[in-house]
């Protein structure tokens, strides 16, 4: 990325421009499809991307308050992941799962086959690594499908611009799109945001976010074993590779970054950061080959100068801290007491979080305590009642702020929101052309190691 981009899109212009993109969209004049509205018509669902999050999202879909809804197609690259999710869903939702072998699809073109099983107004679930998000979203819009997509939605500048345009295409076709930033559907955080924005603790002057726990997901990877290509290995271990997921920074940390920016009611304008790789050898003495840092410490700055500090750590044996906090001129708040959006949220007078200074603590009805289920109920309400509903622009903004902090740590220099949006580096420029025989976007050296960030040495790109 060139640190002195000319003609860049400013943050203010970015917000304005996203509202005008439909005028130049190739799909803006396409006929609006019929949608399922205010009735009991069956809505069909296709799951594209199986595994832990895919199965979870499908289970939430099949648990919505306003059915009927049925899973009718599934797609993945790995047959064992599809089979595991299918078995789990059949056990839990036997009457709502109708996915015979002829609607189980494998391969990089499987997303098309799965969506071809749907009608306009049905729902496609995207829980693949985010590198594929724009490809799948493009086809869903062409098919007139509503969408639920997991976070993050982008990992670099070019795909962010692409997704912003697609967001406008979807709205132009009256499609409903949910993004898996479930903090926005936490009833506690919704009330907290309202109270903070109404000035109950004054002006926000500092925010702190922490996700410091052990390695999760595919954070660490050993050298590629025999019997699998580089491409499939990188997709399977997507948390380890920046092109596929944005690495652990984007995938693990985006929720706290998103909801603290929401509390501030701004997106950070710039970031400077540090981080490092510490224990990159397995207990058996085999080097890990992932691209992640083990620690990240990022200082975000909002347009008004307010600071937001985020600390991330994926190391065993250290004190776990996983929460988010905000401090104002008249008091302080705890957004998430534990995890990405853990109950309760609370506000305090002064700067001490104790019983004597408690101003408010969230009280959420049991049936609305799961934000993962809330986001699906909210999406289904929008579909059934034909209400405008499109979370993609906000999802792109949160993804850009995450990428901005990641790049600042990986390059060792300050990175602005404008630079991240206008960065010309696309980590997987031909992802829409991948086949099972394609080479991977990263190639290992003779020892099986992949390129890693080198702050201060590589300062205009991350590896």
Of 29-33, 126-130, 361-365, which range is least confident? 29-33
**Res 22: pLDDT:** 40
pLDDT tier for residue 13 given thresholds of 50, 70 and 90: low
Give 296's strand partners.
Answer: 275, 312
Percent share of the chain, pLDDT over 70: 91
Q: What is the per-residue pLDDT for 209?
A: 98
Q: What mean pLDDT is predicted for residues 257-274?
A: 98
Per-residue pLDDT band for 280 (boundaries 50, 70, 90) equals confident
* pLDDT on residue 122: 98
pLDDT digits (tens, 9 = 90+) for 190-213: 999 999 999 999 999 999 999 999
Residue 321 scores a pLDDT above 50: yes
Q: Distance (Å, rounded) from C-alpha 323 to C-alpha 253?
A: 11
**Per-residue pLDDT averaged across 337-359, rounded?**
97
Question: Phi/psi class of residue 402: alpha, beta or left (left: φ > 0; alpha: ψ in -120 to 50)?
Answer: alpha
Is the per-residue pLDDT at 25 higher than 60? no
- What's the average model confidence in pLDDT over 226-240? 97
Q: What is the pLDDT of residue 377?
A: 98
pLDDT, tens digit, for every residue of 390-427?
999 999 999 999 999 999 999 999 999 999 999 999 99
Give buried/exposed letters for 376-393 (b at 16+ CB in 10 A, else e): bbbbbebbbeeeebbbbb
Strand partners, 211: 312, 322
Query: What would the 3-class secondary structure string for 290-343 be?
Result: CCCCCEEEEEEECCCCCEEEEEEEECCCCCCEEEEEEEECCEEEEEECCCCCCC
**Residue 283: Cβ-neighbour burial (10 angstroms; 0-12, 13-18, 19+):** exposed
Q: How many Å from the N-terminal Cα to the C-terminal Cα in the chain? A: 11
How confident is the model over 70-109, as pLDDT tens digits? 999 999 999 999 999 999 999 999 999 999 999 999 999 9
The predicted pLDDT at position 283 comes to 87
> For 231-253, what is the mean pLDDT?
97
The predicted model gives 40-44 an average pLDDT of 87
User: Domain 11-183+372-391 carries which CATH code?
Assistant: 3.40.50.720
CATH 3.30.360.10 domain extents, the chain: 187-369+401-423
Share of the chain above pLDDT 90, in %: 89
3-state secondary structure of 231: helix
Residue range(s) of every CATH 3.40.50.720 domain in the chain = 11-183+372-391
Strands 123-126 and 146-149: parallel
pLDDT score of 372 more than 90: yes
Pairing type for strands 307-314 and 123-126 reads: unpaired
- State the pTM of this model: 0.92
At the topology level, CATH places domain 187-369+401-423 in: Dihydrodipicolinate Reductase; domain 2 (3.30.360)
Does position 323 have pLDDT exceeding 70, yes or no?
yes
pLDDT on residue 8: 40
The whole-number pLDDT of residue 279 equals 82
């Amino acid at each position: 990325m060139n640190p002195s981009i000319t003609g860049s899109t400013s943050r203010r212009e970015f917000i304005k421009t996203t509202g005008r993109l439909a005028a130049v969209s190739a799909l803006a004049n396409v006929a609006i499809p019929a949608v399922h509205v205010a009735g009991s018509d069956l809505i069909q669902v296709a799951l594209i991307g199986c595994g832990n999050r895919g199965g979870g999202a499908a289970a939430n879909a099949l648990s919505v308050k306003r059915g009927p809804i049925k899973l009718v197609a599934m797609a993945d690259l790995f047959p064992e992941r599809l089979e595991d999710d299918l078995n789990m869903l059949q056990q839990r939702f036997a009457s709502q799962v109708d996915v015979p072998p002829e609607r189980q699809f494998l391969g990089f073109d499987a997303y098309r086959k799965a969506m071809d099983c749907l009608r306009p107004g049905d729902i496609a679930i995207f829980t693949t690594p985010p590198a594929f998000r724009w490809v799948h979203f493009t086809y869903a819009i062409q098919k007139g499908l509503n969408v639920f997509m997991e976070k993050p939605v982008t990992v670099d500048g070019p795909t962010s611009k692409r997704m912003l345009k697609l967001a406008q295409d979807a709205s132009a076709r009256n499609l409903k799109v949910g993004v898996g930033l479930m903090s926005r559907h936490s009833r506690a955080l919704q009330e907290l945001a309202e109270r903070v924005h109404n000035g109950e603790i004054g002006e926000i002057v500092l925010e702190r976010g922490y996700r410091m726990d052990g390695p999760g997901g595919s954070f660490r990877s050993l050298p590629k074993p025999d019997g699998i290509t580089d491409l499939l290995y990188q997709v399977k271990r997507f948390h380890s590779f920046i092109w596929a997921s944005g690495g652990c920074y984007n995938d693990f940390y985006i929720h706290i970054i998103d909801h603290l920016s929401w509390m501030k009611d701004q997106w950070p304008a710039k970031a400077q950061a540090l981080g490092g790789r510490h224990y990159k050898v397995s207990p058996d003495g085999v080097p890990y080959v992932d691209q992640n840092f083990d620690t990240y410490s990022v200082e975000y700055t909002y347009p008004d100068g307010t600071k937001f500090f985020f600390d991330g750590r994926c190391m065993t044996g250290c004190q776990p801290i996983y929460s988010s906090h905000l401090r104002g001129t008249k008091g302080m708040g705890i957004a998430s007491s534990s995890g990405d959006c853990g109950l309760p949220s609370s506000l305090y007078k002064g700067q001490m979080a104790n019983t004597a200074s408690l101003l408010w603590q969230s009280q959420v009805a049991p049936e609305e305590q799961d934000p993962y289920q809330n986001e699906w109920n909210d999406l289904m309400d929008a579909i059934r009642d034909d209400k405008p509903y499109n979370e993609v622009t906000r999802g792109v903004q949160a993804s850009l702020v995450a990428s901005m902090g990641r790049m600042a740590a990986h390059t060792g220099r300050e990175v602005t929101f404008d630079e991240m949006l206008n960065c010309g580096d696309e980590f997987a420029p031909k992802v829409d052309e991948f086949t099972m025989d394609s080479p991977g976007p990263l190639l290992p050296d003779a020892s099986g190691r992949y390129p890693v960030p080198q702050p201060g040495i590589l300062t205009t790109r991350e590896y």
